[in-house]
Amino acid sequence: MANKTSVVTPQRFAQGHTFDAYMASVKVNKARILSYYKDIKIKAQDAKALRTVAQQPRGPAKALVLAEDWCTDVVRGLPALARVAEAAGLDMRVFPRDQNSDIMREFLKQGKYESIPTMVFYTKDMDYICHWIERPALADKDIAAIEASIKKEKPGLDQREFGIERRNRMSDRAPMWQQAIVEEIRDMLEKSVR
């Protein structure tokens, strides 16, 4: 967290949307997000680990998520983040990134990118624990390989065609990436709460 004094106060946190309220406001990709949400299941061992870490004295009780419905990483990632919060018994609130730039500035990827989704964990007293940004390392690796493969196989694609091809190839990997999100967050929380 970049700032020592956060703009995320208990009052500000309470202004965030619950997952259901956020989904009621979604205008783009709603069906895709809900489909991923319906399909993703947290493995029993991950759910147990998340509950255990949440029960620690300085464990997570609240989670803030920055998201925008037009972002493909949010479309794939938000359902996994919601399932993590449910499994751990966290009060999760969603904030649209573009309307909450002050919050986003506290959690920039590499100190400069407004990457989403971003999930921030707090204790019951709103003490910052840790945060997770954008996508799992597995997805970063896979995306680089997918892009290189498309460029090699179809060098003449324009930007639009390239994007369509990339999205088609990435969609098959979504379940693996969602599981990787769960595992990364579980591991991060276990290390942060010790």
Name the average pLDDT for the chain: 96
Q: What is the spatial distance between Cα 83 and Cα 93, in angstroms, rounded to a whole number?
A: 13
Please report, rounded to a whole number, the percentage of residues in the chain having pLDDT higher than 70.
98
The closest alpha carbon to 19, from 71, 72, 90, belongs to: 90
Q: What is the pTM of this model?
A: 0.94
Q: What is the spatial distance between Cα 87 and Cα 63, in angstroms, rounded to a whole number?
A: 12
Asked whether residue 67 carries a pLDDT value surpassing 90, the answer given is yes
In this predicted structure, what is the pLDDT of residue 42?
A: 97
Q: What is the spatial distance between Cα 190 and Cα 161, in angstroms, rounded to a whole number?
A: 42
Mean pLDDT of 143-159: 95
**pLDDT tens profile 23-32:** 999 999 999 9
CB 168 within 8 A of CB 161: no
- Local confidence band at 1 (pLDDT 50, 70, 90 cut-offs): low
Give me the residue spans of the domains in the chain: 10-136+176-193
Superfamily name with CATH number, domain 10-136+176-193: Glutaredoxin (3.40.30.10)
Asked whether residue 4 carries a pLDDT value surpassing 90, the answer given is no
In this predicted structure, what is the pLDDT of residue 2?
A: 47
**Chain position carrying tokens 């489909």:** 35
